Amino acid sequence: MAQERNLRLVRDDSTEPGVRLGDIRLRNRLVTSSSLLGYGVANAKVMAYGMSPISNFVPLERFGAVTTRTVTVEPREGHFTTKDDWELRELPGLLKRYGQALRQVDGGWLNAFGWCNVGIDAYLRDYYPRTRAQNTIMSVGGFSTEEFVTLVDKVNAAVPVGEIAALEFNVSCHNVNFDFNEIIESVLAEAVPRSNHPVILKLSPDYDYIGHARLAAKHGVSALTAINTVKGLRLDPETGTPLLKNGFGGLSGRAIKPIGLRVVKELRDAEVTLPIIATGGIRSFDDCREYFWAGADAVSLGSASWFASYPGYALSPIYGARIRNLLRRIENYTPPAR
């Protein structure tokens, strides 16, 4: 069934520029990670919540693909908010919410946004039509096989074949307090074959990622994202109270790069042959090359495209120039043969 599905999805576009990971077409090997650019477009220009300030200096259509924040069947406040039209006078309230869902830690960031999103219907109606110039990877998440089936069916109905790069199944998030091990096999078995679009499985380093990768290959998944954030905790040293509203959160940034590299290498050592989009602590061209040497086929910018520790984002143009330069180098780079 997986072979039939892949044959059905692959179009005769061999003359189109870009990179192919199985039946996934990327414009180049540098994509953006889920959540860091919201839904790929903002509703407010002054307080463009959800959109990295770097998006003002790097055309998003230049990336291999832009991954959306994870969307669910119904809207979710999570541990943050679904509101994305903040005005300047509302900045104090927004910063207070950020303080409960995001904290800078040694070598990275700890977040517990909890899948806050507007829901799949609102996303497909209000956001996706404005991002067609981008190559989109839609991240979807749910708490049951039925929810993933519903998400796939809704995307199938709204998005023609070939109009997006892929669906990314987020079956590994740590800040929604759910054990995805209980549903992952049935999600892959039932939701993947229904999809008219290639499916990417996002792996967690805290779960059995090699076992999950093998399940993904068995059920017709097209590629893997390695890795999701690492489960972490920070406490107020004076009171012992967790810094985040959810208690635990997902650690991202430089601190998890060695973990990401380990996971990619272990997947290849275990003879997992699915294409891998690597993420975790990537900022520079050398970071990208390390992941390619470890066995990745593409790389993804996460925290580096948003969570930079510069006051008021004053240095956004400089960071934007760095990312444009990284894009140019990746566009002209051929990973080592395996």
- pLDDT score of 314: 76
The model's confidence at residue 46, banded by pLDDT at 50, 70 and 90, is low
When pLDDT is averaged across residues 295-324 and rounded to a whole number, the result is 80
- Residue 170 in contact with residue 140, Cβ under 8 Å? yes
Q: For residue 335, what are the CA distances in angstroms to 49, 77, 242, 284?
A: 35, 40, 42, 15
**pLDDT beyond 50 at 11:** no
In b/e form, how buried is each residue of 85-103, taking b as 16+ CB within 10 angstroms?
ebeeeeeeebeebeeebbb
**pLDDT beyond 50 at 6:** no
- How many CB atoms within 10 Å of residue 70? 25
For the chain, list the domains and their CATH numbers: 28-332 (3.20.20.70)
**pLDDT beyond 60 at 3:** no
The model's confidence at residue 49, banded by pLDDT at 50, 70 and 90, is low
- pLDDT score of 1: 43
- Residue 111 in contact with residue 252, Cβ under 8 Å? yes
Catalytic residues: 173
Pairing of strands 102-105, 108-111: antiparallel
Angle at 198 between CA 197 and CA 200, to 5 degrees: 130
**pLDDT beyond 90 at 208:** yes
Spatial distance between the Cα atoms of 28 and 5, rounded to a whole number of angstroms: 24
Q: Is the pTM of this model over 0.75?
A: yes
Spatial distance between the Cα atoms of 117 and 123, rounded to a whole number of angstroms: 9
- Residue 276 in contact with residue 223, Cβ under 8 Å? yes
Q: Which two tokens stand for residue 184?
A: 């992952």
Q: Which helix (H) or strand (E) holds 224?
A: strand 223-226
**pLDDT beyond 60 at 7:** no
**pLDDT beyond 60 at 13:** no
> How many residues are given for the chain?
338
Q: Which two tokens stand for residue 130?
A: 């404005």
Sign of the torsion angle spanned by Cα atoms 91, 95, 101, 102:
positive
Please provide the average confidence, as pLDDT, over all residues in the chain: 89
- pLDDT score of 8: 40
| pLDDT 10s digits, 108-158 | 889 888 899 999 999 999 999 999 999 999 999 999 999 999 999 999 999
Helix and strand totals (H; E) in the chain = 9, 14
* Closest of 246, 218, 248, 219 to residue 231, by C-alpha: 248
When pLDDT is averaged across residues 220-224 and rounded to a whole number, the result is 98
Pairing of strands 199-203, 223-226: parallel
Residue pointed to by tokens 């006051």 = 311
**pLDDT beyond 60 at 2:** no
- Residue 244 in contact with residue 105, Cβ under 8 Å? no
**pLDDT beyond 90 at 17:** no
Q: Which amino acid is at 138?
A: M
Q: Which amino acid is at 297?
A: D
